Amino acid sequence: MKPRTHKKDSRVIVYDADCIEQAGPQLFDPDFWQRKGVVVGVAEGRGSALLLDTDFGPAVLRQCLRGGWPARISRKHYFFTGFDRSRPLAEFNMLARLRVLGLPVPHPLAAQCVRAGFLYSGSLLTRRIMDVVPLADLLGSTDAGPELWRETGACIRRFHDQGVVHADLNARNILIRDNESVYLIDFDRAKVQKGAQGSFKSNLSRLRRSLDKLWPASAPDRLDACWARLLEAYSEEPGS
């Protein structure tokens, strides 16, 4: 990666110069991509995330949007406390850091923060991970065999060993390829806190609550067995 920063007036864009030659506001404009005819779908999640087939490869464009009660005040605006602390730029930098560590996360392509007085809005553009499905779509399926749950537990442990605390570890933010390769996405508000055992435990508890909520009623007896396999792999020492 070659991270670069472009600043003009109240707009800051960070981007990977290895992938994008010129970074401008059009990269974050859904209408721009619609006019080019390269929008191939919409991803699930808070707000709209566009799936794109660009000249620099498959990508996902996500506007940073609020959820919960803050959304009643404003869906897309946040209080400005500095460009580097803005959510899109912070997530870009976090993803770049995690990729250096060799962790399975999306490749950050570009991020934008636009300041408007005391507020800002922003967007993030990442490389789309191909041929994956969310873990949530596999729950209760016979396709989700024991090895998938072990790989998921081992993947989460890799992040925790590096001190990475995911802010919203749930079954939709875990992507699976071919029942064995596991990726984590959505690192908005993620932190690196070495040895933060309480936060790591909270990550696992949040994931378990997500599974409890999404698990199909037709196969309730399989959840505990799958969760046990995940925890078993998570608890193993690396290289054992």
Q: Read off the pLDDT of residues 182-223 as tens digits, 9 standing for 90 and up.
A: 999 999 999 999 999 999 999 999 999 999 999 998 878 889
Q: Are residues 107 and 155 in the same domain?
A: no
Q: Is residue 168 part of a domain?
A: yes
Question: Using 50, 70 and 90 to split pLDDT, how confident is the model at 230?
Answer: very high
Task: Single out the residue in 127, 162, 186 at which a domain terminates.
Answer: 127
Q: Are residues 154 and 117 in the same domain?
A: no
31 is catalytic: no
Q: Are residues 35 and 57 in the same domain?
A: yes
Q: Are residues 88 and 178 in the same domain?
A: no
Task: Single out the residue in 84, 101, 127 at which a domain terminates.
Answer: 127
Q: Are residues 112 and 161 in the same domain?
A: no
- Which member of 9, 168, 178, 186 is catalytic? 168
Query: Three-class SS of residue 88?
Result: helix
Q: Are residues 68 and 120 in the same domain?
A: yes
Query: Three-class SS of residue 150?
Result: helix
pLDDT of residue 71: 44
- Contact predicate 215/140, CB 8 Å: yes
Which tens digit of pLDDT belongs to each residue from 70-106? 445 556 889 999 999 999 999 999 999 999 999 999 9
Q: Are residues 9 and 120 in the same domain?
A: yes
- Contact predicate 157/238, CB 8 Å: yes
> Hey, what are 109's tokens?
């392509």
- Structural domain that includes position 189: 133-235
Domains held by the chain: number: 2
Q: Are residues 118 and 13 in the same domain?
A: yes
What percentage of the chain exceeds 90 in pLDDT? Answer: 82
Q: Are residues 7 and 74 in the same domain?
A: yes
E-state strands within the chain? 3-8, 11-16, 39-43, 49-54, 57-63, 78-79, 108-116, 119-127, 133-134, 164-165, 174-177, 181-184, 191-192
Task: Single out the residue in 127, 145, 170 at which a domain terminates.
Answer: 127
